[in-house]
């Protein structure tokens, strides 16, 4: 059923919208690091600093280059058939999220794939441990908050979480993508999967629809 064209609360798994996801300390968002911590090595006390050791050197611009290279990839008439869904289904994370949310890994074949796209990009670059991976946008946002990487300032390479109702509650998140840049006029330029008619596209979005930003712990910096 092609009801989830904008990743509404992310992947639909046999009709269960991951109600079993552990709420976790969402209050950790109150202690989240500022957007300045998107820069590699800016805070070696963050929980992800240890995870970053030994990972490939990847900067925000490198991640965005890969994400933007996927523009035009689209789903089939059933809402599936993308490399992002195929990868997620074969990943160990799919088995973990099925255990959490119910259903089966096969259900991801035609599920909403906006967060699978985000997760695929991080995995391709070898920085999945510091970017996170999930098919459920709410759970992914909670992961950032719990790792003190959640905030309200757009930065290139940040993972942006949207609520089409304008809610600032993590539980109300509908969609996810990457920030390309802050346009400085109340909008941001983004690259997103499963948007429009099920395509990877570059979009301009109002910041009023942003719930918050997750800041991957980049292992390299774009600064000179």
Residue-wise pLDDT for 72-90, tens only, equals 999 999 999 999 999 999 9
Of the listed ranges 13-27, 118-132, 179-193, 209-223, the one predicted with least confidence: 13-27
Provide the pLDDT confidence category of residue 30 given band limits of 50, 70 and 90: very low
Residue-wise pLDDT for 84-128, tens only, equals 999 999 999 999 999 999 999 999 999 999 999 999 999 999 999
Rg (CA), the chain: 16
pTM: 0.85
Provide the pLDDT confidence category of residue 47 given band limits of 50, 70 and 90: confident
Q: What is the dihedral of CA 155, 174, 198, 213, to 10 degrees?
A: 10
Q: In the chain, pLDDT over 70 holds for what percent of residues?
A: 79
Domain ranges of the chain: 26-214
DSSP the chain: -TT-TT-TTS--BTTB--TTS----GGGGGGPPPGGGGSTTS-TTSTTHHHHTTS----HHHHHHHHHHTTT-B--TTS---HHHHHHHHSHHHHHHHHHH-S-GGGGGGS--HHHHHHHHHHHTT-HHHH---S-HHHHHHHHHHTT-EES---TT-EEEE-TT----GGG--EEEEEEEE-SSSEEEEEEEEETTTEEEEEEEEGGGEEEEE----SS----
Provide the pLDDT confidence category of residue 43 given band limits of 50, 70 and 90: low
What CATH number belongs to 26-214?
3.90.1720.10
Closest CA to 40 of 22, 71, 21, 62: 62
Phi, then psi, of 131 in degrees rounded to 5: -120, -20
* Predicted confidence (pLDDT) at residue 40 exceeds the cutoff of 70: no
* Predicted confidence (pLDDT) at residue 216 exceeds the cutoff of 60: yes
- In total, the chain counts a number of residues equal to 224
User: Is there a contact between 7 and 137 (Cβ–Cβ < 8 Å)?
Assistant: yes
Q: Mean pLDDT, to the nearest integer, of 5-22? A: 40
* Predicted confidence (pLDDT) at residue 221 exceeds the cutoff of 50: yes
């Amino acid at each position: 059923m092609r009801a989830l064209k904008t990743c509404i609360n992310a992947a639909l798994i046999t009709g269960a919208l991951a109600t079993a996801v552990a709420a976790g300390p969402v209050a950790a968002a109150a202690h989240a690091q500022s957007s300045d911590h998107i820069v590699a090595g800016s805070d070696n006390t963050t929980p992800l600093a240890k995870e970053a050791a030994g990972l490939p050197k990847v900067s925000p611009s490198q991640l965005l280059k890969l994400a933007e290279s996927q523009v035009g990839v689209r789903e089939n008439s059933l809402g599936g058939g993308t490399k992002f869904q195929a990868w997620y289904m074969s990943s160990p994370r799919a088995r973990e999220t099925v255990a959490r949310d119910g259903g089966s890994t096969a259900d991801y074949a035609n599920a909403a794939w906006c967060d699978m796209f985000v997760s695929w990009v991080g995995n391709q670059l070898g920085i999945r441990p510091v970017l996170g991976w999930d098919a459920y946008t709410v759970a992914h946002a909670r992961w950032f908050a719990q790792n003190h990487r959640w905030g309200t300032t757009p930065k290139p390479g940040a993972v942006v979480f949207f609520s089409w109702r304008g809610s600032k509650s993590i539980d109300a998140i509908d969609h996810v993508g990457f920030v390309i840049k802050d346009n400085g006029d109340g909008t941001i330029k983004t690259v997103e999967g499963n948007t429009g008619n099920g395509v990877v596209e570059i979009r301009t979005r109002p910041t009023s629809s942003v719930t918050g930003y997750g800041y991957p712990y980049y292992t390299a910096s774009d600064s000179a």
